[in-house]
A and B are shown apart, each in its own frame.
Chain A
Amino acid sequence: MSVSQETIITVRDLKIGYAEKVVLQNVNFQVRRGEVLVILGGSGCGKSTLLKNLIGLYTPLAGQVWIEEGNFIAAKDSERLQMLRKFGVMYQSGALFGSMTVLENVRLALDEFTALPEPVKELVALAKLKLVGLGAAARRMPSELSGGMQKRAAIARAMALDPRILFLDEPSAGLDPVTSAGLDLLIKELAHHFGITFVIVTHELASIYNIADRVIMLDARTQTVIAEGKPAELRDNAPDPWVRRFFNREPDSASAVHPN
């Protein structure tokens, strides 16, 4: 399955921040079905805040977030619950429920929101865990898993109800290159085979080249999106020198140890 022309998320004139402090404004972008969109930016530019606004944890100061046909920000509680089912979220730390086994974590949404018979729910959860390569860890507690396994388990949990969109916050942070590459492969497979749309916040350059169909780059100075496009294009041709520096991993200023 390739990226379709159909738009699944539309962000319009979004202005976000905390009470008196505006973090980002005039944020406009669209995400197409089956696309892997990476949100990029330097530390502290508001990537995670943007993500939290997109998934409804924070309320934006102004603007709209449309998920398929509905305005998520303005949705009433009942509509909102329906819309929440359209996406899954993987948090940076995995955020697995520590008191439940990995299998129970994945089953939770199935138990709460479907009337499926017990054995089918178990099979769904097991299949999701197998998909992320954690079939053998089903009965283990989250605390017994490594960081990479916890993140994969969190993806399995986010996918329990087969959402069309997955939001991932820093999926490769703190993982070794092999594990991180494994996670990238999983994301690519999920996007290309199952048409799942991904919105990913990360700064892992290697992983961005691997997975991103398109990136949008945020900037703390201008407080908005400063670049949008394919990662390789931005690296070579971005008009803003800061964007090119970012992609080429060049430091901001001369070395402090050797000023010359």
Chain B
Amino acid sequence: MTTTAQHELTTDIQARPDGCIRVVLCGRLDAQTAVGCWNLLEPKLGAVKIKVLEVDAGGLQFCDGAGLALLRYLNMRKMTPSATVSVLGLEPELEKLFLGFTFDDYEAFRSTAGAKRHSLPEEIGESVSLAAADLREQVAFLGNIVASLPPTLIDRKRMRWPEVRRVFELAGANAVPIVSLISVLVGVIIAFESAQPLAQFGAQIYVANMIGLVMVRELGPLLAAILLAGRSGSAFAAEIGTMKVNEELNALETLGLDPMRFLVVQRITAGILLTPLLTFYATFMGVLGGVLITLSLGFPLTLVFHQLTSSVHLSDVALGGAKGIVFGAIVSAVGCLRGLQTQQGPSAVGISTTRAVVTSILLIVIADAVFSILFFLLKK
């Protein structure tokens, strides 16, 4: 016979000669004392083969959900698989609670299937079919834009120009500080990093040529587009996604207003108009950063300016602007598409914004590659 007193629970294990074990619990069986009780009972009861286990709970003054769960665990013969187990002496109130969850309930839970696991081929197949469906949706969306853009643009009332202006301000004007900072820094970094290897060949002055070409043709448009994707593409997706979750899109449709014409066209128009401007601005700031470094290397401004104008042609500037238009269309269209695709649930809007940014950047890079090839072919 072992008696152990914990905080306010005494656990008394009595072994009878006929192989019956009696566990007498007195006091308070709660989430704290149940732990000690478990630690005491498990090694003792698990070690020997027991035919009959009686748990006397008559002395319990308090028993909470955790205590009852422990009693139920014992009663389900989980600790003593070979024994018949009975729990005796519970107060009527507790007895009612105790009977509220039985072995049958536990078995019913065990038999319910958990989340289905897919095999690797299944998962690959599923993601391929999802990607294909997504591509189809993107193409359909593109068609939809092409179909709804011109008629909305000519219809002044439907176009809602104030909304375009609002988006223009949010996505364009408000982005100026961050675009300035990042572009100047990128210009500075590129000029600084390239000045050192070029110095070995005495070609430091060509830093100006390089920074001009790189910023105008590549980095200006890319920086503007990537910042736009991060700042505004995600915002479009979140805005439209929240509207979808709140059933505002349904409300629009039942009012007879097509979300494409009411929300999407305005954002795409603003995106197409503002991105070339943002691109030129980013280019200018990047070149400015590079020029600052070349000046600090000791070259006079006139020389740097000459190098810049001799290396950068109007076609390069046009290319940068064209990229800006296309990237702007991509970012705003993808943001709207992902917003419209938002599912239900608390994480849906978050997923949409992430997808908007990822898809935008992916498509921007692909479009950039296409531009490079086209430009190369055109120049030949």
18 contacts between A and B (CB under 8 A): A98-B347, A114-B31, A116-B34, A116-B38, A120-B38, A120-B73, A123-B101, A123-B106, A127-B68, A130-B105, A135-B101, A138-B109, A143-B344, A160-B65, A162-B30, A162-B64, A193-B97, A194-B97
| Across-interface contacts of A206 in B (CB, < 8 A) | none
| Across-interface contacts of A193 in B (CB, < 8 A) | 93, 96-97
The 10 tightest CB contacts between A and B, nearest first, are: A123-B69, A127-B101, A162-B64, A124-B69, A98-B346, A114-B31, A115-B35, A130-B101, A143-B345, A120-B69
Query: How many A-B residue pairs lie within 8 Å, measured between CB atoms?
Result: 86
| Across-interface contacts of A110 in B (CB, < 8 A) | 31, 66
Q: Is B48 an interface residue (CB 8 A)?
A: no
Per-residue contact bits, chain A 114-157, to B (CB 8 Å; 1 contact, 0 not)? 11110111011011101100011011000100000000000000
| Across-interface contacts of B97 in A (CB, < 8 A) | 193-194
Q: Identify which of B112-120, B122-130, B153-161, B201-209 touches chain A.
A: B112-120
A143 to chain B, nearest CB (A): 5
Q: Is A253 an interface residue (CB 8 A)?
A: no
**A131 to B72 alpha-carbon distance, docked (Å):** 15
In chain B, what residue has the closest Cβ to A119? B73
In chain A, what residue has the closest Cβ to B346? A98
**A126 to B72 alpha-carbon distance, docked (Å):** 11
| Across-interface contacts of A136 in B (CB, < 8 A) | 108, 112
Q: Is A161 an interface residue (CB 8 A)?
A: yes
Q: Is B70 an interface residue (CB 8 A)?
A: yes
Q: Is B166 an interface residue (CB 8 A)?
A: no
- Provided the pairs A115-B35, A136-B112, A139-B115 are in contact, do residues A126 and B65 lie with their beta carbons within 8 angstroms? no
Q: Is B121 an interface residue (CB 8 A)?
A: no
Q: Is A5 an interface residue (CB 8 A)?
A: no
**A126 to B114 alpha-carbon distance, docked (Å):** 15
Q: Which of B31, B38, B113, B345 gathers the greatest number of chain A CB atoms within 10 Å?
A: B31
* Besides A126-B106, A138-B112, A139-B113, 14 new A-B residue pairs in contact (Cβ under 8 A), listed by A number: A101-B115, A110-B66, A120-B70, A123-B101, A124-B65, A126-B101, A131-B101, A135-B109, A136-B112, A139-B115, A143-B346, A162-B30, A162-B31, A162-B66
**Contact status B73-A123, CB under 8 Å:** yes
Q: Is A187 an interface residue (CB 8 A)?
A: no
B96 to chain A, nearest CB (A): 7
Q: Is B100 an interface residue (CB 8 A)?
A: yes
B376 to chain A, nearest CB (A): 48
Q: Is B306 an interface residue (CB 8 A)?
A: no
In chain B, what residue has the closest Cβ to A124? B69
Q: Is B78 an interface residue (CB 8 A)?
A: yes
- Neighbour of B72 across the interface among A127, A139, A160, A162, CB < 8 A: A127
Q: Is A24 an interface residue (CB 8 A)?
A: no
| Across-interface contacts of B346 in A (CB, < 8 A) | 98, 143
| Across-interface contacts of A116 in B (CB, < 8 A) | 31, 34-35, 38, 66, 69
**Contact status B114-A139, CB under 8 Å:** yes
| Across-interface contacts of A1 in B (CB, < 8 A) | 93
| Across-interface contacts of B32 in A (CB, < 8 A) | 114
**A90 to B234 alpha-carbon distance, docked (Å):** 32
A188 to chain B, nearest CB (A): 15
B331 to chain A, nearest CB (A): 29
In chain B, what residue has the closest Cβ to A93? B346
B81 to chain A, nearest CB (A): 13
| Across-interface contacts of B112 in A (CB, < 8 A) | 136, 138-139
A95 to chain B, nearest CB (A): 9
| Across-interface contacts of B115 in A (CB, < 8 A) | 101, 139
Q: Is A208 an interface residue (CB 8 A)?
A: no
**Contact status B105-A159, CB under 8 Å:** no
| Across-interface contacts of A126 in B (CB, < 8 A) | 101, 105-106, 109
